[in-house]
């Protein structure tokens, strides 16, 4: 009985070991505040938040809540609801882009309806960093709060101080992560400000989109890459700051793909090897050589070319005339006689010469793929990697040359764009996915492999840089006033228009 129980225990353990590891629950809350009511609006926070939300969705997060231009009450409600989503989750992420400020050593993010006439109003009208950390508290393995909110504080100059000892500083103050498994990231160090950016996203968010969800990358190393990119983009003027209370194990937002139990056997012939074999077969050009090549490489691009060459060779042999038609019996040519005192040949002697033998030309030797075949295949591959738009034909047109130039620019290659070559075809075919970036028209932004329309609120308009801004107010119309001025024979009618008098 004991042996049976031990056997069952071992079998059960083996079954559990063979089960795939279940991915933990991951949730994210993304907030972007741009349309502030009491101070100047910000251009990029809404765009930054939309891109971050798309990034978390593409990373297969279980819950992604995206909010923009939240008022104080709405922001507190969103944090309260997110606390319920974080229960039972392994990873909880909160991202905020907008205005932030530091008052008396505490950090706050600012809703769009905040007025902040006095420093005492901060607790009522703004949301503290501690409140955001509390919303992510239920997560068990990682509580991540990211603040792209270290911009210049527009409330500081007009804010009244209720206590002389209460300081209001620029940027946000550095804090320590005092809760377990917590990671806090600021766009800039204590006392410094972060750039909003001239492009569609801030430098900090641009770096986050590049590194944060790389599969298997530890979050501490990911933010190290973010720091390097931001300092490079801002000329060392802005340095992100992070603090954490993580342990020794790696923590990644996206798990690394599981490696197969055994690696597949290496392919004996790579694409370059097959091409070399094709070129050797092409030099010989016999039916036996093409048959041997197709037997060794039965499928693929070069196999199709080899079959085409074999068919050409078979057709040429069928059209080849018999050997008897080539035999022409003729006397050997006699030397051409010339008359004495003349450089011209004797016309009578020329007439007596036998006609030149007529021979049938040899069939052309089989060659490699035609220029049209290479051009069409190369255009098809350029369109697959996102560098070619429009139709595909046999001509290496201006649009095809432009597509190869875009591939060189984005892939770091230096192929001659004027020619469609086999080397370029092999290089493009080796790329597994998109190489050239997706270009969208005005009013649209890139989302994966598609362009999506940018939607603004009713009281906003789309700015040239792709952001939503408040509609400009109309200038008041000039008002004309009429007055009566004394003059001979009575009063004269005079008008004042835009500060200038006019009298009849």
Give the pLDDT confidence of 378-415 residue by residue, as tens digits: 899 988 988 988 888 888 898 889 999 989 999 999 99
pLDDT higher than threshold 70 for residue 327: no
pLDDT at 366: 53
What does the DSSP assignment read for 233-283?
HTTTS---EEEE---SS---SSPPPPPPSSPPPPPSS-HHHHHHHHHHHHH
Give the pLDDT confidence of 466-491 residue by residue, as tens digits: 778 787 776 555 554 555 555 555 55
In this predicted structure, which of 67-81, 109-123, 218-232, 428-442 has the lowest mean pLDDT?
A: 428-442
Could you tell me the pTM of the whole model? 0.49
Give the pLDDT confidence of 80-132 residue by residue, as tens digits: 999 999 999 999 999 999 998 888 778 889 999 998 888 888 889 999 999 99
Task: Tell me the C-alpha distance between 478 and 482, whole Å.
Answer: 13
User: Are β-strands 26-32 and 91-97 bridged in parallel, bridged antiparallel, or unpaired?
Assistant: parallel
Task: Tell me the C-alpha distance between 277 and 293, whole Å.
Answer: 7
- Element containing residue 409 per DSSP (H, E): helix 398-411
Q: How confident is the model at residue 502 (pLDDT cuts 50, 70, 90)?
A: low
- Element containing residue 290 per DSSP (H, E): helix 287-296
Task: Tell me the C-alpha distance between 101 and 116, whole Å.
Answer: 11
Contacts of residue 128, defined as CB under 8 A and 6 or more positions apart, other chains included, come to 106, 107, 108
pLDDT at 102: 83
CA max distance for the chain:
134
In this predicted structure, which of 124-138, 248-262, 285-299, 349-363 has the lowest mean pLDDT?
A: 349-363
pLDDT higher than threshold 60 for residue 372: yes
b (16+ CB within 10 A) / e for 319-345 = eeeeeeeeeeeeeeeeeeeeeeeeeee
User: Are β-strands 500-503 and 444-447 bridged in parallel, bridged antiparallel, or unpaired?
Assistant: unpaired
pLDDT at 338: 44
pLDDT higher than threshold 60 for residue 170: no
pLDDT at 456: 82
Share of the chain above pLDDT 70, in %: 71
Structure-block tokens of residue 242? 């992070």
Q: How confident is the model at residue 263 (pLDDT cuts 50, 70, 90)?
A: low
Q: Which of 152-166, 312-326, 337-351 has the highest mean pLDDT?
A: 312-326
Mean pLDDT of 263-277: 70
- Strand extents, DSSP E, 114-229: 127-128, 142-148, 168-169, 182-186
Q: How confident is the model at residue 318 (pLDDT cuts 50, 70, 90)?
A: confident
Task: Tell me the C-alpha distance between 405 and 413, whole Å.
Answer: 9
Residues linked to residue 92 through DSSP beta bridges, in sequence order: 27, 143
Share of the chain above pLDDT 90, in %: 33
User: Are β-strands 142-148 and 182-186 bridged in parallel, bridged antiparallel, or unpaired?
Assistant: parallel
- Strand extents, DSSP E, 359-479: 444-447, 450-453, 460-462, 468-470
Residues linked to residue 27 through DSSP beta bridges, in sequence order: 63, 92
Asked whether 216 and 153 are in contact (CB, 8 A), the reply is no
- Element containing residue 97 per DSSP (H, E): strand 91-97
Mean pLDDT of 330-359: 48
pLDDT higher than threshold 90 for residue 205: yes
What is the four-CA torsion angle of 269, 274, 275, 276, rounded to 10 degrees? 80
pLDDT at 149: 82
pLDDT at 272: 82
pLDDT higher than threshold 80 for residue 341: no
Give the pLDDT confidence of 282-302 residue by residue, as tens digits: 888 898 888 999 989 988 889
pLDDT at 362: 44
Would you mind telling me the total number of residues written for the chain in this entry? 504
pLDDT higher than threshold 70 for residue 351: no
Task: Tell me the C-alpha distance between 110 and 99, whole Å.
Answer: 5
Residue of 39, 35, 44, 42 lying closest to 70 (CA atoms): 35
Alpha carbon 252 to its chain centroid, in Å, reads: 21
pLDDT at 189: 84
Residue of 121, 188, 192 lying closest to 160 (CA atoms): 121
Give the pLDDT confidence of 3-60 residue by residue, as tens digits: 444 444 444 444 444 433 335 899 999 999 999 998 888 888 999 999 999 999 999 9
Residues linked to residue 63 through DSSP beta bridges, in sequence order: 27
Q: How confident is the model at residue 76 (pLDDT cuts 50, 70, 90)?
A: very high
DSSP state of 100: E
pLDDT at 72: 94
Mean pLDDT of 428-435: 87
pLDDT higher than threshold 80 for residue 360: no
């Amino acid at each position: 009985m004991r042996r049976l129980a031990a056997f069952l225990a071992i079998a059960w353990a083996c079954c559990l070991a063979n089960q795939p590891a279940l991915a933990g629950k991951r949730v994210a809350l993304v907030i972007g505040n741009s349309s502030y009511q009491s101070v100047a609006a910000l251009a990029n926070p809404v765009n930054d938040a939309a891109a971050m939300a798309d990034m978390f969705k593409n990373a297969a997060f279980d819950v992604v809540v995206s909010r923009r231009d939240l008022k104080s009450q709405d922001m507190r409600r969103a944090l309260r609801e997110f606390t319920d989503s974080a229960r039972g989750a392994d990873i909880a992420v909160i991202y905020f882009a907008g205005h932030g400020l530091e008052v008396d050593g505490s950090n706050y993010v600012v809703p769009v309806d905040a007025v902040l006439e006095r420093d005492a109003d901060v607790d009522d009208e703004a949301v503290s960093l501690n409140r955001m950390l509390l919303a992510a508290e239920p997560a068990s393995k990682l509580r991540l709060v990211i603040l792209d909110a270290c911009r210049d504080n527009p409330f500081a100059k007009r804010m009244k101080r209720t206590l002389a000892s209460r300081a209001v500083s620029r940027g946000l103050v550095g804090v320590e992560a005092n809760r377990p498994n917590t990671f806090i990231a600021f766009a800039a160090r204590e006392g410094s400000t972060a750039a909003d950016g001239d492009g569609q996203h801030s430098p900090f968010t641009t770096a986050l989109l590049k590194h944060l969800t790389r599969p298997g990358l530890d979050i501490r190393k990911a933010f190290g890459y973010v720091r390097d990119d931001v300092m490079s983009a801002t000329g060392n003027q802005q340095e992100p700051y992070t603090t954490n209370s993580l342990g020794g194990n790696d923590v990644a937002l996206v798990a690394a793909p599981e490696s197969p139990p055994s690696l597949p056997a290496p392919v004996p012939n790579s694409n370059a090897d097959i091409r070399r074999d094709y070129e050797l077969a092409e030099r010989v050009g016999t039916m036996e050589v093409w048959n041997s090549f197709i037997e060794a490489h039965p499928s693929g691009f070069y196999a199709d070319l080899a079959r085409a060459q074999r068919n050409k060779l078979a057709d040429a042999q069928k059209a080849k005339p018999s050997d008897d038609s080539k035999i022409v019996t003729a006397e050997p040519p006699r030397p051409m006689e010339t008359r004495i005192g003349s450089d011209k040949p004797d016309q009578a002697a020329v007439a007596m010469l036998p006609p030149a033998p007529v021979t049938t030309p040899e069939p052309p030797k089989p060659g490699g793929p035609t220029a049209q075949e290479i051009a069409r295949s190369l255009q098809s591959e350029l369109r697959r990697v996102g560098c070619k738009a429009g139709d595909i034909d046999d001509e290496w047109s201006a649009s095809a040359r432009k597509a190869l130039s875009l591939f060189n620019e984005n892939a770091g290659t230096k192929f001659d764009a004027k020619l469609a070559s086999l080397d370029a075809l092999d290089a493009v075919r080796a790329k597994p996915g998109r190489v050239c970036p997706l270009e969208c028209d005005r009013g649209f932004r890139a989302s994966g492999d598609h362009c999506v329309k940018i939607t603004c609120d009713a009281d906003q308009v789309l700015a040239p840089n792709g952001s939503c801004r408040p509609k400009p107010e109309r200038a008041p119309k000039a008002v004309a006033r009429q007055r009566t001025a004394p003059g001979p024979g009575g009063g004269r009618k005079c008008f004042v228009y835009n500060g200038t008098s006019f009298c009849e």
